[in-house]
Structure formats: C-alpha cells, structure tokens
Amino acid sequence: MNIQKHASYSATEYEKIAEVPIHYGFIPIKTPRITKDDTALSEALEHIDFKDPISEKIALMRFFINQKFHEQDEPRLFYYSKSTRKKTSGHNFSLDILGSNESIADALLIQTVRATLQAEGFKNLTVHINSMGERDTLMRFEKELGNYLRKHIHTVPDKWRAVFQKNTLEITRCTDVLCESFVTTAPAIVNYLSEPARKHFKEVLEYLESVNIPYTINYNLLANKNVANHTVFEITNEDTGTQLARGFRYGKISKKFGVKKDVPVISASVSYEKPKPKISLVINKKSKPLFYFVHLGPSARLKGLRIIETLREARVPVQHALTYDKISGQMQHAQKSGAKYLIIMGQKEACENSIVVRNIATWKQENIPVSEISKLIKQYK
C-alpha cells in the first residue's frame, strides 16, 4: 500500500509496532470515532454469549463507506490503535481487511498479527482456528447440537443442564472438567460446512502451512453469530496460556448503512501488556517503494506470503496486492506505487521456486532462486 496515496485519512504518526503491518500493506489510520448511532446499532447486533466489540467495527464500516471505498473494486487494509479509558503500558490495536472474500486475506491478516507479536519478542505462539461457515451452517449446527443434548441429557452434570437447555451454544464454551466427555463427543460445526465454506477454510490452512505457522483446529471456537462467518481465530502464547489476539470474518454490517452489496471483512484485535515506552514514528508520505511483488496464479500466491515475510526479515520493503486475483489490477497498483522493480512469480517460477526481478523502466530482468532472495535482492538500488 502507498501511504502517500491515502494522506487524506491516514494517521501522520504511528507506533513503532505498526512497522510490521505497514510492510504487509496495512495503512495506519486515525482511530474511527464511535458515535451514538454506532453504539445503538451495536446493541442490536451484540450477542450475550460473546464479548467481541461490535461498535468499533460499525464505526470502521461507517468510515469505509463515507470514504466511498465500497464503490471501488479494491480491498483496503487498515491499522489503528484502539482508544482505551485505562492507562496501560501495553498495546491495544486492530488490523482489518475490508472488501475481500478471498482466503488469502484471512491468512495475510493472521500472518501479519503473528509476525507483529514475534517482533515484540513473543515466542511459542500458536494459532487456534475454526470455521463457522455461512448462516445456514450455524443453523444446522445449532439444531444438531440441540438433538445431541436431548439424546444425552442424562450424562450432563446437574448444574449444567439448565444452562445448556437455555442456550445450546454454551456446550462449546464449557471448560468444566465435569463436562469434558460430553463436550468432546458433541457435534463440531466444521462437519456442517458447505462445500464453498469447506474450500475457503482448507485454503486458509494451506496458506498458514506455506509460512510454517503452527495451528490447532479448535472445533469449539466461535464468534458473535449475529455477524460472524467463516474464519475465527485466536493467537496465544503457549508458555503462559495468554490470549494475545482474536479475530474473525464478518459481514452484514455494511447493509445497515443502506449499501446494497455486502462488504466482507476479516478483523483482528490485538492486546497485550509490554512495560516499555511506546515509540512514535512520523510517516514519510513522499517515500516510494523500491519493489512490488506480483503473483500470477494460485501457486504463486500461495508462496507469495512466504516471500513477503522473507523480505521483511531481511528488512527489504516491498508492496503487494495479494488480495487481488487479476494481473491487470496488480500492474495498475504497481504503477501507482512508483516502485522501481517488480518481483514476479508466475506458475513457472512457483514450480522452480524462483522469482523474476524486473526493472520497470528498462524491462531488464533476471531470475533469482527464492533460497537466495535475502542476499541477492539487496544489490538493487
């Protein structure tokens, strides 16, 4: 993403922690202001079983629509610090991708959050992930969960019977050791996914594997059923058991603003305590990227996430449009970015595990093995 292009609404300063999201294409923006209307709408969408804040997502959608981004065929990636009434020494921020239904958006968000936490010194991180599918999926799942409860009600501990009968989704949230055998054998929502939803979830997992992200499928991990769909995830520090991030894909909110077409969103909230001063950096809006990564085909996009991370580790800035399918959109984006070189991976390069580096002005190019990209890419200026 080109921050210069978004000067009208982007933040002029950002916390140093945002350097990783910026590398992955997220634009720092001012924290969306939550209005009374946003709060009122959130109350209609909140669900008693989940504490996911909906009001801030409504405020972000209002901002998105006011900027008329919904009229453009271009996903938007945003980073912003969350406002909090409590004075803490930690970090509290959100990463959001609006306008993309692609599974790569889910993986890009998860990879960005994980890389950000690693840059902060966290180790032994695990992604817990699940899929809620579409609305029909949840309806089928709740029905089967109710049937399961009625059939096995005699095995449920007395203190939990009324709770489960009032709300069957509480079965997925129960951590009481007395419920362990009952919960373990209960239906799992992934077994009721439609074929498109199953495909989406499979692709997300393949992307995570492509960048060696350890994950665990948590069949009981759900989010607010009034808005959430498809991917739900949490990232925890396995050493302490602390949850550091939580995210999910959602829809429906844009239609509350009178927009006919639903705007898909994948969002993550990151929060952790880190007792060190926050360093603010000023954005240089005149800077242009040296490289722009272009992918051609699904195999190239699958490996693209790994290449972008490799370049980040080598401290080589690069822009990309991984959420784009068509080459035409990527090339237009690359031209607007002002990049000097293209890093290209097509099907051939994906099979050979290589990239092409092309000078946009002269079209002079050379092939570089992916295994040597960190060393050889630094010779370009």
210 belongs to a structural domain? no
Residue bearing the bigger pLDDT, 139 or 375? 139
CA dihedral 144, 149, 152, 156 (to 10 degrees): 150
What does the pLDDT read at residue 190? 93
One domain, residues 43 and 64:
yes
Highest mean pLDDT of the ranges 116-120, 201-205, 286-290: 201-205
Q: Which residue type does 98 have?
A: L
Which of 47-51, 120-124, 245-249, 350-354 comes out lowest in average pLDDT? Answer: 47-51
Contacts of 362 (CB under 8 A, 6+ apart): none
231 belongs to a structural domain? no
Number of H helices, E strands in the chain: 13, 15
Above 80 in pLDDT, residue 9? no
Report the CATH number that the domain containing residue 293 is assigned in CATH.
Answer: 3.40.50.800
318 belongs to a structural domain? yes
Above 70 in pLDDT, residue 283? no
Residue bearing the bigger pLDDT, 145 or 260? 145
Residue 114 confidence class, pLDDT cut points 50, 70, 90: very high
Tell which of 214, 247, 272 closes a domain: 272
Show binding-site residues for L-histidine: 85, 96
One domain, residues 10 and 101:
yes
pLDDT (average), residues 144-163: 92
Tell which of 245, 272, 299 closes a domain: 272
What does the pLDDT read at residue 50? 52
Cα separation, 202 vs 88, whole angstroms: 38
Exposed e or buried b for every residue in 93-103, given b needs 16+ CB within 10 A?
bbbbbbbbebb
One domain, residues 307 and 180:
no
Select from 352, 355, 363 the least CA-distant residue to 318.
355
One domain, residues 252 and 178:
no
Which of 207-216, 238-247, 323-332 comes out lowest in average pLDDT? Answer: 323-332
Average pLDDT over the chain reads: 87
What does the pLDDT read at residue 51? 58
Contacts of 26 (CB under 8 A, 6+ apart): 1, 18, 77, 78, 79, 95, 112
Report the CATH number that the domain containing residue 241 is assigned in CATH.
Answer: 3.30.930.10
323 belongs to a structural domain? yes
What does the pLDDT read at residue 93? 92
One domain, residues 109 and 256:
yes
152 belongs to a structural domain? yes
pLDDT (average), residues 213-218: 95
Angle at 356 between CA 355 and CA 360, to 5 degrees: 145
Above 50 in pLDDT, residue 151? yes
Q: Which residue type does 173 have?
A: R
According to DSSP, the β-strands at 318-320 and 291-295 are: parallel
Above 70 in pLDDT, residue 192? yes
Contacts of 145 (CB under 8 A, 6+ apart): 168, 169, 171, 172, 186, 187
pLDDT (average), residues 201-218: 96
Residue 88 confidence class, pLDDT cut points 50, 70, 90: low
Residue 71 confidence class, pLDDT cut points 50, 70, 90: confident
Cα separation, 378 vs 349, whole angstroms: 20
Residue 3 confidence class, pLDDT cut points 50, 70, 90: very low
One domain, residues 308 and 240:
no
**Region for 189 from its dihedrals, namely left if φ exceeds 0, alpha if ψ lies in -120 to 50, beta otherwise:** alpha
One domain, residues 265 and 311:
no
Above 80 in pLDDT, residue 133? yes
Residue bearing the bigger pLDDT, 81 or 98? 98
pLDDT tens per residue across span 295-310: 999 999 999 999 999 9
Cα separation, 148 vs 161, whole angstroms: 13
pLDDT (average), residues 201-208: 97
110 belongs to a structural domain? yes
One domain, residues 52 and 186:
no
Which of 40-49, 163-172, 210-219 comes out lowest in average pLDDT? Answer: 40-49
One domain, residues 161 and 248:
no
215 belongs to a structural domain? no
Based on the structure, what is the number of domains in the chain?
Answer: 3
One domain, residues 13 and 111:
yes
Confidence (pTM): 0.89
What does each C-alpha distance from 203 to 16, 233, 297 come to in angstroms?
A: 32, 15, 14
Show binding-site residues: 85, 96
One domain, residues 105 and 7:
yes
What share of the chain in percent tops pLDDT 90? 55
One domain, residues 98 and 245:
yes
pLDDT (average), residues 122-139: 94
Select from 44, 52, 78 the least CA-distant residue to 64.
78
**59 in Cβ contact with 88 (< 8 Å):** no
Which of 27-36, 214-223, 264-273 comes out lowest in average pLDDT? Answer: 27-36
pLDDT tens per residue across span 97-111: 999 999 999 999 999
301 belongs to a structural domain? yes
For residue 234, the 8-state DSSP code is: E
Select from 146, 197, 198 the least CA-distant residue to 172.
146
- Find the domain containing 328 and state its range: 288-379
